[in-house]
Structure 1
Amino acid sequence: MTVPGIPDTPNGPDAPDAPDTVLAAGCVLWRRSLVHEGLEICLVHRPKYGDWSHPKGKLKRGEAPLAGALREVGEETGHDCAPGAPLPTLRYRANGRPKRVDYWAAEATGGVFLPNREVDRLLWLPPAAARARLTQPRDRELVDALLDALHMT
């Protein structure tokens, strides 16, 4: 996927993956706020890393990225969702290996969170609060991409 403002170079979003690239996918999960106008974004806390992030995870062998993203949302948050627009693909190094994470906007359609071994806490926050709570700056950019995709900027 080409990201506006990012040139399509050998290191850009459409660059071929190295053979050892970890493939993952996730969603910026959102819902209409239950207490105020606007929307809320779901963040998950992963105790293994001590961080706050969007729900995401590694793809299973042969799994399509969108299917993996929806599976990970369900596993980590307990919520079902309706996928929407694709969001920027993030590329970075994790544990010494290149990693590619494909993201989609996804509206929560129901479900209940139960803490599990991967995710012990979940928060629904307005966009500004979600942006501030996210651990990685690269994840903050996805909040802006979601708002752009929903025409809320």
Structure 2
Amino acid sequence: MELIKAAGVVLWREGAGGLELALVHRPKYDDWSFPKGKLEPGEKHREAALREAREETGLTVLLGRRLPTQHYLVRDRIKRVRYWSATVLTGVFTPNREVDSLRWLPVAEVRARLSYEHDRALVDALLELLGR
């Protein structure tokens, strides 16, 4: 079975009401998830995570600690996504072909809005990492 290698980020910040995470909406799939994407040939996972965050959100991010790797099936192929916690260094979100919306939301709203159950484990891992 073919393995799809990907990398992504869980963006977080301290908002006025506490911890907020960024979710992106992809119109092609009509889903809400974290920024991520496939590795390009010869690319390292960390490089891909930074590139995908920039391409999908317009933001330059600082990678933090690793979060759990996700494995799931996509059209009879296994997709493995390595994730990092991340914070924003610079940039402003601009809607694009892949992502038409980025929302900073409190944790409870993130859990409710996420389209995929496996992404909720990343929220739990980030909260543990941050001691929340």
Task: Give the secondary structure class of the aligned counterpart of 1:48.
Answer: coil
Alignment of 1:1-150 (within 5 A): 20-33=2-15, 35-36=16-17, 38-150=18-130
Give, in angstroms, the shift of residue 66 of structure 1: 0.9
1:49-98: per-residue Cα shift (whole Å, max 9, x none)? 01000000000011110110111011111111111110000011102111
Question: Which structure shows the bigger proportion of residues in strand conformation?
Answer: 2
1:120-152: per-residue Cα shift (whole Å, max 9, x none)? 011000111111100000001101111111111
For the pair shown, the structure with the greater C-alpha radius of gyration is: 1
Give 4+ residue runs of structure 1 displaced > 4 Å after superposition: none
Provide the residue aligned with 1:10 in structure 2. Answer: none
TM-score (norm 1): 0.83
Q: Give the 3 Å change call, closer, same or farther, for CA 92–139 of structure 1 in structure 2.
A: same
Q: Give the 3 Å change call, closer, same or farther, for CA 113–73 of structure 1 in structure 2.
A: same
TM-score (norm 2): 0.96
- The count of corresponding residues between Structure 1 and Structure 2 is 132
Q: Distance in 2 between matches of 1:31 and 1:78?
A: 16
1:79 aligned partner, one-letter code: L
Backbone CA RMSD of aligned residues: 1.0
Over the matched positions of the two proteins, sequence identity in percent amounts to 56
Gaps of 5+ in 2: none
